[in-house]
Structure 1
Amino acid sequence: MSRMHNPAHPGEILKEDVLPGLGITVTEAAAQLGVSRVALSRVVNGRAGVSPELAIRLAQWLGGNAESWLQMQMQHDLWHAERKTTAKVRPAKRTEAA
């Protein structure tokens, strides 16, 4: 399975689709989710990732499942990590026991 080219940060989905669709602000969403406005703002603006706890809250709030939020975050993080990693790691070799 090939990975999506530059997957969206989950916060981008919240910022561009979810909040406008509900017609609410980050402050109102944070109150409904039971998190601080600052914490949600950091996610919405891509400065923090979706934690497992926030994923559960988002799933309860919007329906769906927490795994989908964590999957989005993982795909985003992995795509960016693959582009930043410069280390060349050789495959592991089994050593012969003496």
Structure 2
Amino acid sequence: MATELQPVHPGEILREEYLHELHMSAGALAKKLGVPRTRIERLIKETTPVTVDTALRLAKFFHTTPQFWINLQTSYDIKTEARSLAKELEKIEPLADFEHAA
């Protein structure tokens, strides 16, 4: 049986793929973004989510898009919540013979 991977917090991506690669501290990034150092520290410690404000600032600085950062956060939130609701979600019976183009 395959082991399911833990959801990846956007702070891990920021820490491992950006800050470590650039040899940049949370404080240095916070200064560049014009935000409190604690905001970036909490994000890379995975104790706070990426907000729209932070996503906009990260996107501008790293030449990404705000959607990239928000999508990382949304994916993390959905996977985390799905795990905590798994037993309750199993009890929900899908509506028979109904397909809706989403």
TM-score range with shorter-chain normalisation?
0.7 to 0.9
1:64: which partner in 2? 64
2:19: which partner in 1? 19
Q: Which runs of 5+ in 2 are unaligned?
A: 96-102
Q: Across the two proteins, how many residue pairs are aligned to each other? A: 90
Give TM-score scaled by structure 1 length. Answer: 0.81
Partner of 2:8, secondary structure, is coil
Give me the identity figure in percent: 30
Q: Which one scores higher on RCO, CA 8 angstroms, separation ≥ 6?
A: 1
Shift of 1:83: 0.6
2:44: which partner in 1? 44
1:96: which partner in 2? none
Q: Does 1:28 align with 2:22?
A: no
Q: Which runs of 5+ in 1 are unaligned?
A: 93-98
Instruction: Give the whole-Å Cα distance in 1 for the aligned partners of 2:66 and 2:35.
Output: 16
Give TM-score scaled by structure 2 length. Answer: 0.78
Q: Residues 7 and 72 of structure 1 are in contact (CA less than 8 Å); yes or no, is this contact kept in structure 2? A: no
Shift of 1:6: 3.1
Question: Which digits, 9 at most, give the CA deviation of each residue in 1:22-64, with x for residues without a partner?
Answer: 2211111111111111111111110000001100000000001
